[in-house]
Structure 1
Amino acid sequence: MTEQRGSLARVAFASGIGSCLEWYDFFIYGTAAAVVFNTVFFPDMEPAAGTLIAFATFGVGFFARPFGGLFFGHIGDRVGRRYVLILTLLLVGGATFLIGFLPSYDKIGVAAPILLVLLRLVQGFGAGAEYSGAVIYAVEHAPPNRRGWFGSWSPMGVSLGTLMAAGVFALVSLLPEDDFLSWGWRIPFWLSIVLVAVGMYLRLHLAETPVFNQARQRRDVLRMPIRHALVTQPRSFVVVIGARFAENGLGYLFPTWSISYLSGQLNYSKTTALVAVTIATCAQFVMVPVWSVLSDRIGRRPVYAGAAAFCVLFAFPYFLLLNTKSTPLVIFAMAAAVGIGVAGMFGPQAAYFTELFAPRVRYSGFAFARELGSILAGGPAPFLASLLLVWAGGAPWAVAGYMVVLAAISLAAVLWGPETYKTDILAEPDRGPAGMQAEVAQRTRA
């Protein structure tokens, strides 16, 4: 029993460390886009235009994510989960490390932003399957009544990675401005190599999941898992994509875009804004396992839908609190938005999305649908919010309305979706005639 618990603990930690790296990388990129990339890579533009373009490069990585999800999801369903976890860790971490060495626009001209975009694409391609693979790996090892808890290790890794990134950026932002712009901003990118090393050590010693091993023993591995998933489980795709709108979009707007809003619009120092985000991320780290365990007891849908409804109601009060320019109220607003709204969706999401897909198509379906949602939600969110802020003359109410729309879409998707917390993740879903015909045709071709 002790050996089994130790093995499960290693699984959970290995799952969390990759997500920690992925979101450390993405948060430092998003933060750098908000506070430094407009100066380093787009110096000839007006500050507002430079920030818009910097956030556009942030969004570019999201367009690579579905392709990464499709490519690595296919490998994960046909070859195994653990191999993909090693490859994605190297891609995400390697690209982030190299961004720290990029010359500025002043040194190599237009080649600097081009290289930045290329590395961002590589980062996004690997990230397209990192989180989903880590979640699936943990949930497929979990006891049936604790899948929410085991799945929460990846979201907690996300929170920890974000927290680490915010803390590192808060420290380097204390440097004199010239030092920060020339080399200080690079330090967070260089430090990512530490997480890569730890993650590689853990993942190289992992075994394959019991769910995939059983599928392989039954010779139940499909030739084209994504095609089979689209034909037999279209509802799951729609639910995942819709559920991502609020969790992913608001997950970037509350902690990442708000840094730009606080420092650029409300004249807070960058350090104060980063401290507020750090405290909010601590709230997320604490609350993710709380919401996840609650979803093990009452179901995924009540927790997820409740958090989305909270975001609908809190969007306008959030900006009212920020605009008081009271630091304690700003911290409270961010902590409530992230700890209740984002964490309430992000926590149960891991187990919920895993349970929505059958084992033979789980990696492909989960990764591809999740990353399609990222393109529609998280990728354009900071750019669109900045655009809406400019359009409204600096007033945040159009951005608040945008947040309401994102949350309402997720609320509708989750309410339409099935409850899954008591399902058997080894079982195939009930397939209709079209799905059965597609399976027969695919087996014939194979």
Structure 2
Amino acid sequence: MSATNETLPPEEVILSEKRRKNARNSAISGFVGSALEYYDFFIFATAAALYIKELFFPEAGAAGQLFSLATIGVAYVTRPLGAVMWGWLGDVFGRKKVLIATLILMGVSTFVVGLIPTYEQIGIWAPIIIIALRLLQGLSAGGESPGSASLSVEHAPDHRRGFFASWTLSGVTFGIVISSAVFIPIAMLPQEAQMSWGWRIPFLLSLVVTAIALILRRTLDEPEVFTETKELKLVVKVPVFELFRRYPKALLLVTGMSLFTMVNTMINVFTLAYGVDISGIDRSEMLTFVSVANLIAVGTIPVFAHISDRIGRKPVFITGSIGMMVLAFAFLWALNAGGPGDTWLIWVTGILLLSGAYSMSNGVYPAFFPEQFPPQVRYSGMAIGLMFGLLLAGFTPAIAQSISGEAGNWFGVALFTAGAAAISGLCALLSPETYKTPTARLGQRG
């Protein structure tokens, strides 16, 4: 025990230790819970890039890949609805209960995807069912990372909010790693085995994944700032009304800052299909690239978040935005120019983009976004702003596929990516700096 703690009354020492334990547990739970939930969410995206076209849209012809990638986007349509619903429940009834509910919904809907008969077996009902389940995934995802990040921010020490909250995004990124990695051995199976039963395995494994995450989530405590809000009767009955009435500027800026997240699906989904179909790169190598780049990002995200605790959220976020604008062109040019046996430049530029520039902004926003709002609308504010911004990320693979076309127009896709990153950086520039503001005073403005 430190000398400082020895001078404190026993009850203060106990409280200090409890706060430290809660901060640590919320970060661990945020990492593991988000990793496992987003494993569920992103295995669908990987399957859409590699298998769903043949299994569920076999009669769509050349538009089949576009339809397949669009199924990823439909989940982002229900994410704002989930943000409103889970944000309201989380701000009124508590963060912990909502995070458990989102996890169960995601786990069940993902498991059922692994049981769906294909188009060949039940016809048009196959794509209808898979789209319905994808909508349920989106509903769940609308509350997951905003709730986890808000919980971590509220439990963390004032001077380390960025670091503790960033583990939620490290978890999301690790979920992407395992969602890609789990398909690598499947991609090595004979084609017939992949298409008949192999693609189902990652979805069926979600049952185990969900059980592990639930055990962790049940150990969490509600943050002090939320319980104090309830005790002081400051809870807002309909947070979304309060949000639009008193914090429209913050909500709009958070939505704009969220647009950079389209880089995630541009790399992890669109370029996965582009690399295989246009550049002729082996499917297993593209899956390995995505897994390795995201695995490196798991480590860089908390590093950039830690830096933001020292120098501010805005410098790190904006630097990341500028980096994404430049590296998008370099990476997509390399992907277009490369081919089988000539992929080293794809690896270098892709890792710099995903693990470097993108991770700067990605590591900062779990603290930066909820810091824009007071506790009574924090969950709702982050969830709604983030999920409306993520609509672009959801449809990025389909938009990029439309821009690219059969000729593989990489420059148009790079321009689209740079534009989204530029808007995010501008919105960050217009937002207030929050890293030095005490947690109890966050969001205290008109």
User: Which bracket does the TM-score occupy, shorter chain normalised?
Assistant: over 0.9
Q: Can you list the C-alpha shifts for 1:379-403, whole angstroms capped at 9, x where unaligned?
A: 1100000000117x22211111111
1:405 is paired with a residue of what secondary structure?
A: helix
Provide the C-alpha distance between the structure 1 equivalents of 2:323 and 2:23, rounded to a whole number of angstroms: 34
Provide the C-alpha distance between the structure 1 equivalents of 2:130 and 2:247, rounded to a whole number of angstroms: 37
Which residue of structure 1 aligns with residue 323 of structure 2? 310
Pairwise CA distance, 1:126: 0.8
Cα 1:324–1:87 change in 2 (3 A) is same
Instruction: Provide TM-score, normalisation by structure 1.
Output: 0.93
Q: How much identity, in percent, do the aligned residues show?
A: 36
Pairwise CA distance, 1:429: 3.7
- Residue 101 in 1 paired to residue 96 in 2? no
- Report the AA paired with residue 232 of structure 2: R
Cα 1:174–1:428 change in 2 (3 A) is closer
Which residue of structure 2 aligns with residue 264 of structure 1? 277
C-alpha contact 2:320 2:360 (8 A) present in aligned 1: yes
2:182 is paired with a residue of what secondary structure?
A: helix
Cα 1:233–1:95 change in 2 (3 A) is same
- Report the AA paired with residue 296 of structure 1: D
- Residue 214 in 1 paired to residue 228 in 2? yes
Which residue of structure 1 aligns with residue 237 of structure 2? 223
Write the mapping of 1:6-405 to structure 2, written as runs, cut at 5 A.
6-46=21-61, 48-246=62-260, 248-322=261-335, 323-325=337-339, 326-375=342-391, 377-390=392-405, 393-405=407-419
C-alpha contact 2:146 2:379 (8 A) present in aligned 1: yes
Pairwise CA distance, 1:336: 0.8
Pairwise CA distance, 1:3: 6.0
1:378 is paired with a residue of what secondary structure?
A: helix
- Report the AA paired with residue 270 of structure 2: W
Provide the C-alpha distance between the structure 1 equivalents of 2:216 and 2:223, rounded to a whole number of angstroms: 15
Q: Which stretch of structure 1 is more off in the superposition, 171-180 or 186-195?
A: 186-195
Instruction: Provide TM-score, normalisation by structure 2.
Output: 0.93
- Report the AA paired with residue 24 of structure 1: Y
Pairwise CA distance, 1:16: 1.5
Q: Can you list the C-alpha shifts for 1:80-122, whole angstroms capped at 9, x where unaligned?
A: 1111001000111111111111111111111110000000011
C-alpha contact 2:163 2:302 (8 A) present in aligned 1: yes
Residue segments in structure 2 that go unaligned for 5+ positions in a row: 1-15
Pairwise CA distance, 1:2: 6.1
Kindly tell me the number of residue pairs found equivalent between the two proteins.
428
Pairwise CA distance, 1:430: 4.5
Provide the C-alpha distance between the structure 2 equivalents of 1:8 and 1:430, rounded to a whole number of angstroms: 23
Provide the C-alpha distance between the structure 1 equivalents of 2:245 and 2:283, rounded to a whole number of angstroms: 48
Q: Can you list the C-alpha shifts for 1:400-435, whole angstroms capped at 9, x where unaligned?
A: 111111111111111111111111222264444xxx
C-alpha contact 1:255 1:334 (8 A) present in aligned 2: no
- Taking only aligned residues, the RMSD between alpha carbons, in angstroms, comes to 1.4
Pairwise CA distance, 1:21: 2.2
Residue segments in structure 1 that go unaligned for 5+ positions in a row: 433-446
